[in-house]
A = this chain, B = another copy of it.
Amino acid sequence: MTQGGLKWRVSGGSGDGIDSTSQNFAKALMRAGLHVFTHRHYPSRIRGGHTYVEVRAQSTEVRSRGDGFNFLLALGDSFARNPDDEAYYGDEKLKPLYEHFDDLNEGGIIVYDTGVISEEEAQAVGLDEHAEENNWHVYPIDLRSIAREYGRDVMRNTAGVGVTAALVGIDTSYFEELIQEVMPGEMAEANIKTLQAAYEHAQELDQGHDIEVPEGEHDGEQALMSGSDAIAYASLDAGCRFISGYPMTPWTSAFTVMSQHLPNFGGISEQVEDEIAAAALALGASHAGVKSMSGSSGGGFALMSEPLGLAEMTETPVVLLEAMRAGPSTGMPTKSEQADLEFVLYTSQGDSCRVVFAPGNIQEAYEQTRQAFEYAYDYHLPAIIVYDQKLGGEMRNVPVDFFDREPDPDPGAVLTEDELAEAAHDAAGKFKRYAHDAEDGVNPRSVPGQKGGRFLATGNESMEVGHIAESPENRVIQMDRRMEKLDVIRADLDEGDSSNQTYHGPADAEYGILTWGSQQDTVFEAVDRLEARGSDVKALGVSDLMPYPEDEVRSFLESVEECLVVEMNATAQFRGLTQKELGQFGPRMTSLLKYDGEPFEPGEIVDGFEATIEDQEHPGGNMKIVPAAGD
């Protein structure tokens, strides 16, 4: 068994069923007791484009997709067209094979479907030379014929799974079980036959590789979850019953999950004319008493800037999701990036008064989404979950009992009619919704339709009952009151048992790696490897972006000699935020940046650390290093 477990990649045309195949593959391995992690590549086209999914499986927790992969199931693109038009994009049909040569590990396995890609074609794109050079084990198999014999052509992906099972030693019973669960009888039967035939075929082969799936066992039942699922489920559990949105990759995933299930949860989903409306509807529903959310990605979120500010000023609670993708503008819409940090923190005129969390993995996505609703509704401000294509789309196994939580029907800081009767009103009976002397800056609110709760919510600066006001004295009191909420939230976050910031590695390490959001677990895997190689290093994954966890990050930076800051953007935004918030430590931080649309691999971080902190040369690849400030 090679060190990294199985890193299986299935590639084909985007109409070739890659998605369901890989998902079932991952689920089967999960049921077999392994930890799994998937990574999906999205081409920015609908169909016929070349795509792939990776499934990494090992007996211990998987933190990232790892470096490269060690098993390629190349289905070839059976939807490819215009074979003559190779000038620009090369031969689409063969891409699922040759485009993967760069990342396949030494000693890796290739299975390709000779029913689509002939052996001659494979030679022509240099398979032999590459295989020899890298000590690959290549198995050309006519998957299509197997599929055709026992079922239909399209089942060649099932045949590929059968071959995989035989080559790396997976019990096919898990696949068979799953096939029976998801397909109607006849189709299931044909698929199972195909699977078995392919399995047997491959067993006969002369196998020279040393890649094998390890044994594993889970403590309890596992669920295969994506970040988008976790965010949506957390919203439902948080008592959210209204969502409004407009589709946009990658936010669409969470929106779709919500839309599909909200009616069954007694709630309402609205797909509307644009993102300005989407955000505005969420405010309207929230104002009327329903826990509400909206969200978007990039350009769609940009359109929410103005309503976001309205939420801050009117103190209308709302949770917004921002699913980042590579920018600026339309950028690379199906690629990962973390370049919307400053945008999300500061967009909309005036001083920001919002809560922003960037979860570091799927469990954190669930936890922090619930927190977002709590803070939004307890403190009457917008709370934003900023994540990315990577976290939203990747799937991991999570213990089922992690989700065994109480739902939260609490509407937050709201008064009942009885309480309203006792509350402060002006001389004419208007409720002092925005009273100056609020505890912790928050006045519990009334909801339209309640007796005794009349007030005016306005985007203008206002007096206690909501009337527009421009007096400097009132202004300062109201601004200070609103801003105080962030201090209180910071204190509350700092006081909790557990921090949203996640630590990894020895507390007394000499060096540090700082990161935020979705890169966290990859950094942690890198730290383990660095430690294994003798480096004295620890890491901190930051999730709280506003209010910023000043004390925690300061302590971390104070505790290390030097620190590498890892993030996926070109201008070192999180490092900048840290410098802004702390006003120092610039000279102690070096940035390792990546902005080519692909998340870091742990090996890249290892290289980056060695190249900078350990002062070796440039790590190569598409990374950029920004040296310490003030040096």
Contacts and interface: CB of A to CB of B under 8 A. Distances in A.
Q: Interface residue tally of chain A, by bracket? A: 35 or more
Interface in A314-348: 314, 324-335, 337, 339-340, 342-343, 345-348
A122 interface: no
A292 interface: no
A579 B347 CA distance: 20
B332 A349 contact: no
Interface centre among A331, A346, A351, A589 (most CB of B within 10 A): A351
B573 A351 contact: yes
A303 B305 CA distance: 7
A47 to B, nearest CB: 16
Contacts of A427: 87
B460 A332 contact: yes
A249 interface: no
Interface in A573-589: 573, 576-577, 579-587, 589
Interface in A554-596: 554, 569-571, 573, 576-577, 579-587, 589, 595-596
A433 B29 CA distance: 49
A570 B328 contact: no
A298 B346 CA distance: 12
A289 interface: no
Interface in A467-524: 467-468, 470, 472-473, 475-476, 479-480, 483
Interface string A447-473: 000000000001111000001101011
Interface centre among A303, A328, A480 (most CB of B within 10 A): A328
Stoichiometry, as copies per complex, reads 2
A299 interface: yes
B351 A570 contact: yes
B332 A343 contact: no
Contacts of A184: none
A349 B305 contact: no
A21 interface: no
Contact of A622 (B472, B571, B584, B628): B472
A103 B302 CA distance: 42
A276 B275 CA distance: 13
A332 B483 contact: no
A352 B347 CA distance: 12
A387 to B, nearest CB: 14
A525 interface: no
A342 B346 contact: yes
A313 interface: yes
A310 B87 CA distance: 29
A43 interface: yes
A534 interface: no
A349 B335 contact: no
A576 B342 CA distance: 13
Interface string A292-310: 0000011101110110011
Contacts of A571: 351-352, 483
A629 B349 contact: no
Interface in A525-570: 554, 569-570
A597 interface: yes
A77 interface: no
Nearest to A334: B470
A345 B347 contact: no
A350 interface: yes
A364 interface: no
B629 A44 contact: no
A329 B313 contact: yes
A92 interface: no
A467 B350 CA distance: 38
A340 B350 contact: yes
A153 interface: no
A312 interface: yes
A470 B310 CA distance: 36
A231 to B, nearest CB: 19
A86 to B, nearest CB: 13
A582 B587 CA distance: 9
Given A305-B302, A330-B458, A470-B332, A347 B347 contact: yes
A467 B335 CA distance: 17
Interface in A422-440: 427
Interface in A341-368: 342-343, 345-353
A298 B276 CA distance: 15
A353 B343 CA distance: 13
A107 to B, nearest CB: 25
Interface of A: 43-44, 87-88, 276, 297-299, 301-303, 305-306, 309-310, 312-314, 324-335, 337, 339-340, 342-343, 345-353, 427, 458-461, 467-468, 470, 472-473, 475-476, 479-480, 483, 554, 569-571, 573, 576-577, 579-587, 589, 595-598, 622, 624, 628-630
Given A297-B349, A312-B329, 5 more contacts: A329-B460, A339-B349, A343-B346, A584-B585, A584-B587
22 contacts: A298-B350, A299-B309, A303-B303, A309-B328, A312-B328, A325-B349, A328-B349, A332-B460, A332-B470, A342-B345, A342-B352, A346-B347, A352-B571, A472-B622, A473-B596, A476-B596, A480-B570, A480-B624, A579-B584, A580-B580, A583-B587, A584-B629
Enumerate the 7 nearest inter-chain pairs by beta-carbon distance, A residue then B residue, closest first: A583-B586, A327-B350, A583-B629, A328-B350, A329-B459, A472-B596, A298-B349
